[in-house]
Amino acid sequence: MSSLPARVRVSRLPLPPTPNVSAQLRRLLPGTELNTVTQAAAALAGGRVVGAAVLAQDGYRQGIEAGWRGKGLEQALMEAVGWTEVEAALEPGRQ
């Protein structure tokens, strides 16, 4: 697992997501069809969702608030949903 700031926790999410979690996923991952998600994880800081990642039928998606980028959340979220660097490199048009 990657090194994260002390106040950040990354957790895998149960599916289907609750309405509140769905709202947070839609905020961070606009355009993602949540009914196609097979794995999901969220990064929380101070009880607030600051990042999310999902594996869906159309691939891997990740969204992190601007102030939290580059602090290790990218890798931690990727690991939490089981996405690997090899898969990321092979996926065409990765966002």
pTM of the shown model: 0.83
Q: Is the dihedral of CA 53, 63, 37, 88 positive or negative?
A: negative
Instruction: Examine residue 1 and state whether it is found in any structural domain, yes or no.
Output: no
pLDDT tens per residue across span 25-50: 999 999 999 999 999 999 999 888 99
Could you tell me if residue 35 is inside a domain?
yes
First and final C-alpha spacing in the chain = 22
Reported as a single tens digit per residue, the pLDDT across 39-94 is 999 999 988 899 999 998 888 999 999 999 999 999 999 999 998 765 665 565 54
Residue 95 in any domain: the answer is no
pLDDT at residue 84, rounded to an integer: 74
Containing structural domain, residue 47: 8-90
- Strands, DSSP E only, in the chain? 8-12, 37-45, 48-56, 59-64
Tell me if 2 is assigned to some domain: no
Task: Kindly report the CATH number assigned to the domain that includes residue 23.
Answer: 3.40.630.30
Number of domains in the chain: 1
Residue 90: its pLDDT value, please? 58
88's enclosing H/E stretch is helix 85-90
